[in-house]
Amino acid sequence: TASTPPSYKIIDGKLYRNSSECRHFSARCSGVEHYLLRAAPRMSRNVEFVINVADYPLVPETPLRPAPVMSFSKSDGRHRDVLYPTWSFSQGGPCLHPIYSNGIGDWNGTRQQLLAVAQAHPWSNKTDVAFFRGSRTSQERDAVVLLSLAKPELFDARYTKNQAYKSAADTLNLEPAPYVSLPEHCKYRYLINMRGVAASFRLRHILLCGSAVLHAVDKNSNWREFFYPAMRPWIHYVPLLPNLRDAEDKLLFLRANPDWAKRLAAEGAHFIDKHLRDSDVACYWLRLLRRFSRLLSYDATLRDNMRPV
Ligand SMILES: *[C@@H]1O[C@H](CO)[C@@H](O)[C@H](O)[C@H]1NC(C)=O
Ligand SMILES: *[C@@H]1O[C@H](CO)[C@@H](O)[C@H](O)[C@H]1NC(C)=O
Ligand SMILES: *[C@@H]1O[C@H](CO)[C@@H](O)[C@H](O)[C@H]1NC(C)=O
Protein backbone atom coordinates (compact mmCIF):
# COMPACT_ATOMS: atom_id res chain seq x y z
CA THR A 1 0.00 0.00 0.00
CA ALA A 2 1.88 3.01 -1.28
CA SER A 3 0.86 6.03 0.69
CA THR A 4 2.28 9.51 0.92
CA PRO A 5 4.53 9.82 3.97
CA PRO A 6 3.24 12.19 6.62
CA SER A 7 4.48 15.75 6.53
CA TYR A 8 4.98 17.81 9.67
CA LYS A 9 5.60 21.40 10.57
CA ILE A 10 6.81 22.99 13.75
CA ILE A 11 5.54 26.56 13.83
CA ASP A 12 6.12 28.81 16.85
CA GLY A 13 6.98 25.79 18.97
CA LYS A 14 3.86 23.81 18.06
CA LEU A 15 3.66 20.58 16.06
CA TYR A 16 1.30 20.18 13.09
CA ARG A 17 0.68 17.20 10.84
CA ASN A 18 -0.97 16.72 7.50
CA SER A 19 -3.73 14.60 8.98
CA SER A 20 -4.60 12.71 5.80
CA GLU A 21 -1.51 10.55 5.90
CA CYS A 22 -1.17 8.49 9.10
CA ARG A 23 -3.99 6.02 8.42
CA HIS A 24 -1.84 2.98 7.67
CA PHE A 25 0.64 3.39 10.46
CA SER A 26 -1.02 5.27 13.30
CA ALA A 27 1.13 3.68 16.05
CA ARG A 28 4.31 4.51 14.12
CA CYS A 29 3.20 8.11 13.71
CA SER A 30 2.47 8.32 17.44
CA GLY A 31 5.88 6.81 18.18
CA VAL A 32 7.58 9.52 16.15
CA GLU A 33 5.34 12.27 17.50
CA HIS A 34 6.29 11.41 21.07
CA TYR A 35 9.74 12.87 20.34
CA LEU A 36 8.56 15.62 17.96
CA LEU A 37 6.28 16.97 20.69
CA ARG A 38 9.22 17.08 23.11
CA ALA A 39 11.43 18.87 20.57
CA ALA A 40 8.84 21.36 19.27
CA PRO A 41 8.90 23.92 22.14
CA ARG A 42 12.69 23.96 21.97
CA MET A 43 12.89 24.92 18.29
CA SER A 44 13.98 28.48 17.60
CA ARG A 45 13.14 28.33 13.85
CA ASN A 46 10.04 27.09 12.12
CA VAL A 47 10.58 23.96 10.10
CA GLU A 48 8.75 21.53 7.84
CA PHE A 49 9.79 17.99 7.02
CA VAL A 50 8.55 14.67 5.64
CA ILE A 51 8.81 11.49 7.70
CA ASN A 52 8.72 8.12 6.00
CA VAL A 53 7.12 5.73 8.51
CA ALA A 54 7.37 2.69 6.23
CA ASP A 55 10.23 0.19 6.61
CA TYR A 56 12.01 0.87 3.36
CA PRO A 57 13.90 4.08 2.54
CA LEU A 58 12.55 6.35 -0.19
CA VAL A 59 15.46 8.39 -1.56
CA PRO A 60 17.64 6.54 -4.07
CA GLU A 61 21.27 7.49 -4.52
CA THR A 62 21.27 9.58 -7.68
CA PRO A 63 23.34 12.44 -9.03
CA LEU A 64 20.20 14.58 -8.83
CA ARG A 65 19.49 16.78 -5.86
CA PRO A 66 17.74 14.41 -3.47
CA ALA A 67 14.35 15.10 -1.92
CA PRO A 68 14.73 15.60 1.84
CA VAL A 69 12.88 12.66 3.37
CA MET A 70 13.58 11.23 6.82
CA SER A 71 13.61 7.43 7.23
CA PHE A 72 14.61 5.11 10.07
CA SER A 73 17.06 3.04 8.05
CA LYS A 74 18.99 3.05 4.80
CA SER A 75 21.69 1.24 2.95
CA ASP A 76 24.82 3.37 2.64
CA GLY A 77 25.72 4.00 -0.98
CA ARG A 78 22.19 3.21 -2.13
CA HIS A 79 19.98 5.70 -0.31
CA ARG A 80 20.23 9.31 0.73
CA ASP A 81 17.43 9.49 3.28
CA VAL A 82 18.10 11.48 6.43
CA LEU A 83 18.06 9.07 9.35
CA TYR A 84 15.79 9.54 12.36
CA PRO A 85 15.46 7.26 15.43
CA THR A 86 12.76 4.70 14.69
CA TRP A 87 9.23 5.09 16.05
CA SER A 88 9.70 1.90 18.06
CA PHE A 89 11.78 3.70 20.68
CA SER A 90 8.34 4.82 21.84
CA GLN A 91 5.69 2.63 20.21
CA GLY A 92 4.64 0.90 17.00
CA GLY A 93 5.80 -2.16 15.03
CA PRO A 94 7.27 -4.56 14.29
CA CYS A 95 4.44 -6.62 15.76
CA LEU A 96 4.70 -10.36 16.48
CA HIS A 97 1.61 -12.17 17.68
CA PRO A 98 1.30 -13.13 20.44
CA ILE A 99 4.58 -12.01 22.04
CA TYR A 100 4.63 -8.42 20.72
CA SER A 101 1.06 -7.83 19.57
CA ASN A 102 1.40 -4.08 20.03
CA GLY A 103 4.88 -3.85 18.56
CA ILE A 104 8.25 -3.91 20.25
CA GLY A 105 8.03 -0.23 21.37
CA ASP A 106 8.60 1.15 24.90
CA TRP A 107 12.39 1.26 24.88
CA ASN A 108 12.40 2.62 28.46
CA GLY A 109 10.75 -0.55 29.70
CA THR A 110 12.43 -2.98 27.32
CA ARG A 111 15.90 -1.72 28.24
CA GLN A 112 15.28 -2.34 31.95
CA GLN A 113 13.84 -5.77 31.22
CA LEU A 114 16.80 -6.78 29.04
CA LEU A 115 19.34 -5.56 31.58
CA ALA A 116 17.61 -7.60 34.29
CA VAL A 117 17.53 -10.74 32.15
CA ALA A 118 21.19 -10.18 31.23
CA GLN A 119 22.02 -10.20 34.96
CA ALA A 120 20.10 -13.44 35.46
CA HIS A 121 22.09 -14.97 32.59
CA PRO A 122 25.72 -14.00 33.10
CA TRP A 123 28.30 -15.14 30.56
CA SER A 124 29.08 -18.32 32.49
CA ASN A 125 25.44 -19.30 32.37
CA LYS A 126 24.76 -18.79 28.67
CA THR A 127 24.35 -21.59 26.15
CA ASP A 128 27.51 -21.82 24.07
CA VAL A 129 25.95 -21.56 20.59
CA ALA A 130 25.19 -18.75 18.16
CA PHE A 131 21.48 -18.09 18.07
CA PHE A 132 19.05 -16.58 15.56
CA ARG A 133 15.26 -16.55 15.26
CA GLY A 134 13.49 -14.37 12.78
CA SER A 135 11.38 -14.39 9.70
CA ARG A 136 12.51 -14.39 6.10
CA THR A 137 12.27 -10.65 5.57
CA SER A 138 15.40 -10.87 3.43
CA GLN A 139 16.82 -13.80 1.50
CA GLU A 140 20.23 -12.87 2.90
CA ARG A 141 19.04 -14.50 6.11
CA ASP A 142 18.93 -17.92 4.41
CA ALA A 143 22.66 -18.16 5.05
CA VAL A 144 22.25 -18.38 8.81
CA VAL A 145 19.52 -21.03 8.66
CA LEU A 146 21.57 -23.12 6.22
CA LEU A 147 24.64 -22.77 8.43
CA SER A 148 22.64 -24.04 11.37
CA LEU A 149 21.56 -27.12 9.42
CA ALA A 150 25.18 -27.84 8.48
CA LYS A 151 26.69 -27.09 11.92
CA PRO A 152 24.01 -27.63 14.57
CA GLU A 153 26.63 -27.90 17.32
CA LEU A 154 27.65 -24.26 16.64
CA PHE A 155 24.57 -22.49 15.28
CA ASP A 156 20.94 -22.60 16.34
CA ALA A 157 19.06 -20.63 13.68
CA ARG A 158 15.52 -21.07 12.36
CA TYR A 159 12.93 -19.08 10.51
CA THR A 160 9.69 -18.12 12.18
CA LYS A 161 6.51 -17.27 10.28
CA ASN A 162 6.14 -13.66 9.30
CA GLN A 163 2.95 -11.75 8.63
CA ALA A 164 3.25 -12.49 4.91
CA TYR A 165 3.81 -16.27 5.40
CA LYS A 166 2.38 -18.15 2.42
CA SER A 167 4.01 -21.55 2.29
CA ALA A 168 6.82 -23.70 3.65
CA ALA A 169 9.12 -22.08 1.08
CA ASP A 170 9.08 -19.02 3.36
CA THR A 171 10.81 -21.07 6.06
CA LEU A 172 13.13 -22.99 3.68
CA ASN A 173 10.78 -26.00 3.85
CA LEU A 174 11.41 -26.41 7.55
CA GLU A 175 8.74 -26.37 10.22
CA PRO A 176 8.33 -22.68 11.24
CA ALA A 177 9.96 -22.21 14.65
CA PRO A 178 8.06 -20.66 17.57
CA TYR A 179 8.74 -16.99 18.24
CA VAL A 180 11.40 -16.22 20.83
CA SER A 181 11.08 -12.98 22.78
CA LEU A 182 14.04 -10.60 22.85
CA PRO A 183 14.83 -11.26 26.56
CA GLU A 184 14.92 -15.00 25.86
CA HIS A 185 17.73 -14.34 23.40
CA CYS A 186 19.93 -13.41 26.38
CA LYS A 187 20.25 -17.10 27.29
CA TYR A 188 22.63 -17.60 24.38
CA ARG A 189 26.29 -16.64 24.43
CA TYR A 190 26.44 -15.49 20.79
CA LEU A 191 23.67 -13.71 18.92
CA ILE A 192 23.50 -13.16 15.18
CA ASN A 193 22.10 -10.01 13.60
CA MET A 194 21.16 -9.86 9.93
CA ARG A 195 19.28 -7.25 7.97
CA GLY A 196 15.58 -7.77 7.34
CA VAL A 197 13.49 -5.55 5.07
CA ALA A 198 15.88 -2.82 6.20
CA ALA A 199 18.20 -2.70 9.24
CA SER A 200 17.00 -5.11 11.92
CA PHE A 201 15.34 -3.55 14.97
CA ARG A 202 16.76 -6.29 17.13
CA LEU A 203 20.36 -5.05 17.15
CA ARG A 204 20.03 -2.57 20.02
CA HIS A 205 18.06 -5.15 22.00
CA ILE A 206 20.39 -8.11 21.62
CA LEU A 207 23.43 -5.96 22.38
CA LEU A 208 21.99 -5.35 25.86
CA CYS A 209 21.97 -9.08 26.59
CA GLY A 210 25.66 -9.16 27.44
CA SER A 211 26.08 -11.79 24.73
CA ALA A 212 28.64 -11.43 21.94
CA VAL A 213 26.80 -10.04 18.92
CA LEU A 214 27.86 -11.18 15.47
CA HIS A 215 26.55 -8.50 13.14
CA ALA A 216 26.44 -9.02 9.36
CA VAL A 217 27.65 -5.85 7.67
CA ASP A 218 28.81 -5.12 4.19
CA LYS A 219 30.86 -1.96 3.90
CA ASN A 220 29.39 -1.24 0.46
CA SER A 221 25.74 -1.66 1.33
CA ASN A 222 25.59 -1.34 5.05
CA TRP A 223 21.98 -1.30 6.25
CA ARG A 224 21.94 0.91 9.29
CA GLU A 225 20.03 2.97 11.81
CA PHE A 226 21.14 6.38 13.03
CA PHE A 227 23.35 5.09 15.86
CA TYR A 228 25.33 2.41 14.01
CA PRO A 229 28.23 4.70 12.97
CA ALA A 230 29.04 5.30 16.67
CA MET A 231 29.71 1.59 17.19
CA ARG A 232 33.02 -0.05 16.43
CA PRO A 233 33.56 -3.52 14.94
CA TRP A 234 35.70 -5.81 17.14
CA ILE A 235 34.90 -3.58 20.13
CA HIS A 236 31.11 -3.61 20.38
CA TYR A 237 30.36 -6.47 17.99
CA VAL A 238 32.04 -8.95 15.67
CA PRO A 239 31.48 -8.07 12.00
CA LEU A 240 30.39 -10.85 9.65
CA LEU A 241 30.19 -10.97 5.89
CA PRO A 242 26.51 -10.93 4.85
CA ASN A 243 26.96 -14.34 3.18
CA LEU A 244 28.32 -15.62 6.54
CA ARG A 245 31.26 -17.37 4.89
CA ASP A 246 33.43 -16.22 7.82
CA ALA A 247 30.89 -16.99 10.56
CA GLU A 248 32.18 -20.42 11.59
CA ASP A 249 35.81 -19.25 11.86
CA LYS A 250 34.83 -16.20 13.87
CA LEU A 251 32.61 -18.17 16.19
CA LEU A 252 35.43 -20.68 16.79
CA PHE A 253 37.74 -17.75 17.52
CA LEU A 254 35.30 -16.43 20.14
CA ARG A 255 34.93 -19.83 21.74
CA ALA A 256 38.70 -20.21 21.88
CA ASN A 257 39.10 -16.76 23.49
CA PRO A 258 36.33 -16.61 26.06
CA ASP A 259 37.79 -13.75 28.12
CA TRP A 260 38.09 -11.62 25.02
CA ALA A 261 34.59 -12.58 23.84
CA LYS A 262 33.13 -11.79 27.24
CA ARG A 263 34.74 -8.34 27.20
CA LEU A 264 33.39 -7.58 23.72
CA ALA A 265 29.93 -8.64 24.90
CA ALA A 266 30.20 -6.31 27.90
CA GLU A 267 31.39 -3.40 25.74
CA GLY A 268 28.46 -3.86 23.38
CA ALA A 269 25.97 -3.87 26.24
CA HIS A 270 27.66 -0.89 27.88
CA PHE A 271 27.51 1.12 24.65
CA ILE A 272 23.74 0.72 24.33
CA ASP A 273 23.10 1.11 28.05
CA LYS A 274 25.07 4.36 28.34
CA HIS A 275 24.58 5.97 24.94
CA LEU A 276 21.17 4.91 23.71
CA ARG A 277 18.95 6.00 26.56
CA ASP A 278 15.62 7.72 25.96
CA SER A 279 17.31 11.07 26.66
CA ASP A 280 19.94 10.34 23.99
CA VAL A 281 17.22 9.59 21.46
CA ALA A 282 15.39 12.81 22.35
CA CYS A 283 18.68 14.72 22.07
CA TYR A 284 19.35 13.30 18.61
CA TRP A 285 15.85 14.31 17.46
CA LEU A 286 16.31 17.87 18.68
CA ARG A 287 19.69 18.28 17.00
CA LEU A 288 18.37 16.71 13.79
CA LEU A 289 15.44 19.11 13.62
CA ARG A 290 17.54 22.14 14.53
CA ARG A 291 20.14 21.41 11.88
CA PHE A 292 17.47 20.62 9.32
CA SER A 293 15.65 23.89 10.09
CA ARG A 294 18.83 25.87 9.45
CA LEU A 295 18.99 24.42 5.93
CA LEU A 296 15.58 25.79 4.95
CA SER A 297 15.97 28.91 2.84
CA TYR A 298 12.39 30.03 3.47
CA ASP A 299 10.19 30.49 6.50
CA ALA A 300 7.82 27.55 6.94
CA THR A 301 4.24 28.69 7.39
CA LEU A 302 0.95 26.92 7.97
CA ARG A 303 -1.28 25.97 5.08
CA ASP A 304 -4.51 24.00 4.74
CA ASN A 305 -4.76 20.40 5.89
CA MET A 306 -2.28 20.82 8.72
CA ARG A 307 -3.75 19.94 12.12
CA PRO A 308 -2.14 20.42 15.52
CA VAL A 309 -0.82 17.14 16.98
C1 LIG B 1 -1.51 16.95 2.66
O2 LIG B 1 -1.60 15.69 2.02
C3 LIG B 1 -2.34 15.69 0.82
C4 LIG B 1 -2.45 14.26 0.37
O5 LIG B 1 -1.21 13.66 0.23
C6 LIG B 1 -1.64 16.60 -0.18
O7 LIG B 1 -2.36 16.62 -1.40
C8 LIG B 1 -1.55 18.01 0.40
O9 LIG B 1 -0.82 18.83 -0.47
C10 LIG B 1 -0.86 17.97 1.76
N11 LIG B 1 -0.93 19.30 2.36
C12 LIG B 1 0.10 19.94 2.86
C13 LIG B 1 -0.16 21.28 3.44
O14 LIG B 1 1.24 19.47 2.87
C1 LIG C 1 11.05 7.35 29.09
O2 LIG C 1 11.15 7.77 30.43
C3 LIG C 1 11.41 9.17 30.60
C4 LIG C 1 11.66 9.41 32.08
O5 LIG C 1 10.62 8.92 32.83
C6 LIG C 1 10.21 9.95 30.05
O7 LIG C 1 10.44 11.34 30.19
C8 LIG C 1 10.04 9.62 28.59
O9 LIG C 1 8.92 10.26 28.04
C10 LIG C 1 9.93 8.11 28.39
N11 LIG C 1 9.96 7.82 26.96
C12 LIG C 1 9.00 7.21 26.30
C13 LIG C 1 9.27 6.95 24.85
O14 LIG C 1 7.95 6.88 26.81
C1 LIG D 1 21.52 -19.84 35.30
O2 LIG D 1 20.67 -20.67 34.53
C3 LIG D 1 19.66 -21.35 35.22
C4 LIG D 1 18.88 -22.20 34.26
O5 LIG D 1 18.52 -21.49 33.11
C6 LIG D 1 18.81 -20.38 36.02
O7 LIG D 1 17.83 -21.04 36.75
C8 LIG D 1 19.68 -19.53 36.90
O9 LIG D 1 18.91 -18.61 37.62
C10 LIG D 1 20.71 -18.81 36.05
N11 LIG D 1 21.44 -17.76 36.73
C12 LIG D 1 22.56 -17.87 37.49
C13 LIG D 1 23.12 -16.58 38.03
O14 LIG D 1 23.10 -18.90 37.74
Is the omega angle on the peptide bond into residue 178 within 30 degrees of 0, that is, cis? no
- If you compute the radius of gyration of the chain from its CA atoms, what whole number of angstroms results? 20
Whole-number Å distance, alpha carbon 70 to ligand 1 midpoint, is 17
For ligand 1, say whether the CB of 303 is within 6 Å of any of its atoms: yes
Whole-number Å distance, alpha carbon 274 to ligand 1 midpoint, is 40
Per-residue pLDDT of the chain (309 residues; tens, 9 = 90+): 456 889 999 999 999 998 766 888 899 999 999 999 999 999 999 999 999 999 999 999 988 888 899 999 999 889 999 999 999 999 987 777 778 877 888 999 999 999 999 999 999 999 999 999 999 989 999 999 999 999 999 999 999 987 777 888 888 988 889 999 999 999 999 999 999 989 999 999 999 999 999 999 987 778 999 999 999 999 999 999 999 999 999 999 999 999 999 999 999 999 999 999 999 999 999 999 999 999 999 989 987 778 999
Nearest C-alpha to atom 14 of ligand 2 is from which residue?
A: 90
CATH for 107-275, among 3.40.50.300, 3.40.605.10, 1.10.540.10, 3.40.50.2000?
Answer: 3.40.50.2000
Domain boundaries, the chain: 7-93+278-296, 107-275
Angle in degrees, 0-180, between the axes of helices 26-39 and 278-295, rounded to the nearest 10: 80
Q: Which residues contact 217 (CB under 8 A, 6 or more apart)?
A: 233, 239, 240, 242
